[in-house]
Amino acid sequence: MKKFILLFTVVLILCGCAGSGRLSAAKEYILPDVDILDGYEINGEFHVYIAFGQSNMQGPGEIRPQDREGISERFRIMNVVAGRYANSFREKHKLYRASPPLIITDNNLTHWTGAFTIGLSPVDYFGRTLIENIRQDITIGVVAVANGDMALAAFHKTKSEDYFRGSGTLSGRPSQTEMQGMNRYKGAGYANMYDAIIQNAKLAQREGGIVKGIIFHQGESGAGLANVSWADLLKEIYNDMLSDLNLAPNSIPILLGQTWNGGSGSTGGVLASDSAIKAVLPNAFIISSVGCTGRTGQGQPDNIHFGSAGLQLLGTRYGEKMLELVYGN
């Protein structure tokens, strides 16, 4: 089988990493010989966005009938973990029309309380907003990796393994929910959640995709590690992503959604305003969550998770800001 080998010039080998599942800073990505388009033809430009975070990115809202209507063929989701989504099987490493759920499989759409269903993510209306306001010859593809309760360290290239071993973690971390989430991605063949993002983004790049930006929602669970600030940890993740995707430093925007009701969660206050995060990440922008309503049902709203209408508004705000920054709209 033909292999596509991409070599990075950073030389930093971590002893004993071979075969351990640990990513070294000199990771050599050997991409699988797969056709991500699977018959779909991109006529024009292919713009790629990365979405990652915890439950409010994963999809805590109920999927309403209108959320599956009028979705353009030009809005595609790169499926990261094989399974049934939107009543059909989606293979790993393939692009599909972005009908929700995008991250949670069909068999996991009932909330653990049994009181309501979930699956709608800000990604849904982020992509729709872009498609409705850009040229007809641009296809939007999103690589989305998220799971409930994930601390920020879970997404780190090299520190996530120590985090999941409980080394240097804050009290109660990692949680059982986090362990289940990481196992889902490892079970799909990835070293960790960071690896899932980069592998699929690189596959999109190989088909001519241009990575244009990142949307992110996390903060409720904080950094997860002691002796490191949330903002500094996010900066490391962002820098690693750009390096591994062969993008210039600080060259693409990263949009950070606020937690419930304009909050900053356990981030040290850096989600309060652009100025706070820009001191660490110059190309970061805060997306307001004020007015984004919660879900209803047993014990809801819980003042943590957004409902369908709130997620639609939040996703639209992500899209509007990206339109401004990337497309000049």
Domains of the chain: 43-327 (3.40.50.1110)
Q: Which two structure tokens, joined as six digits, stand for 211?
A: 């990575």
- CA-based nearest residue to 143, from 67, 219, 195, 85: 195
Residue 133 pLDDT: 98
Place 226 in a pLDDT band, splitting at 50, 70 and 90. very high
Q: Which segment of 11-25, 102-116, 257-271 scores lowest on mean pLDDT?
A: 11-25
Rounded CA-CA distance 65/49 in Å is 25
Residue 23 pLDDT: 60
Report the range out of 29-38, 76-85, 289-298 with the highest average pLDDT.
76-85
Q: Mean pLDDT throughout 157-174?
A: 95
* pLDDT at position 314 over 50: yes
pLDDT > 70: what percent of the chain?
A: 91
Burial pattern 115-145, b for ≥16 Cβ within 10 A else e, equals ebbbbbbbbbbbbbbbbeebeeebbbbbbbb
Segments of 163-310 assigned E as strands: 210-217, 254-257, 284-287
Q: Mean pLDDT throughout 95-112?
A: 94
Higher pLDDT, 295 or 100: 100
Place 116 in a pLDDT band, splitting at 50, 70 and 90. confident
Residue 10 pLDDT: 34
Q: Which two structure tokens, joined as six digits, stand for 154?
A: 């879970």
Residue 275 pLDDT: 92
Q: Which two structure tokens, joined as six digits, stand for 243?
A: 């390096």
0.85 surpassed by pTM: yes
* pLDDT at position 3 over 60: no
Residue 27 pLDDT: 61
Q: Which segment of 14-18, 133-137, 148-152, 229-233 scores lowest on mean pLDDT?
A: 14-18
How distant, in Å, are the alpha carbons of 93, 184, 224 from that of 90?
Answer: 9, 16, 32
Q: Which residue's entry shows tokens 């430093």?
A: 249
pLDDT > 90: what percent of the chain?
A: 85
Q: Mean pLDDT throughout 19-29?
A: 56
Give me the residues paired with residue 76 across strands. 97, 141
Residue 24 pLDDT: 56
Place 25 in a pLDDT band, splitting at 50, 70 and 90. low
Place 17 in a pLDDT band, splitting at 50, 70 and 90. very low
Neighbours of 172 (CB within 10 A): 9
Residue 12 pLDDT: 33
Q: Mean pLDDT throughout 267-295?
A: 95
Place 2 in a pLDDT band, splitting at 50, 70 and 90. very low
Residue 300 pLDDT: 87
